[in-house]
Structure 1
């Protein structure tokens, strides 16, 4: 995972467009060339390892609010 992150950082250093970077990352997922489930596992690993660094940023991002709430809903035990 670390090697992939380093490679991606080098690749995207010269690209200043956030939209272009986002699409480059999303394109293989969109075209079915990589597994969304495996990608989610790698993302979860990175987020878990860097939890204190990203928790506040993710929880306070207005664009991610619905997703964060959905994740909390399905991962929190509900007493019925």
Structure 2
């Protein structure tokens, strides 16, 4: 099964374990999205629970996954 790109979406980081290097984003609609530390595109590579982010959504074998995460100053 090939990865299916769903486009750019926004959400809020609900969990993030910096030691393990992964977390989840709550989207406005749809299932929560998994991400890895390596998927954070910002130069400082930091996200915190409660941060709003924009990301590329791909549907992979285990479900939705976020790539190319960028923190937002505010949700518009």
TM-score computed with the length of structure 1 as normaliser = 0.22
Structure 1 or 2: larger strand share? 2
Q: Which has the larger radius of gyration?
A: 1
Structure 1 or 2: larger helix share? 1
TM-score computed with the length of structure 2 as normaliser = 0.23
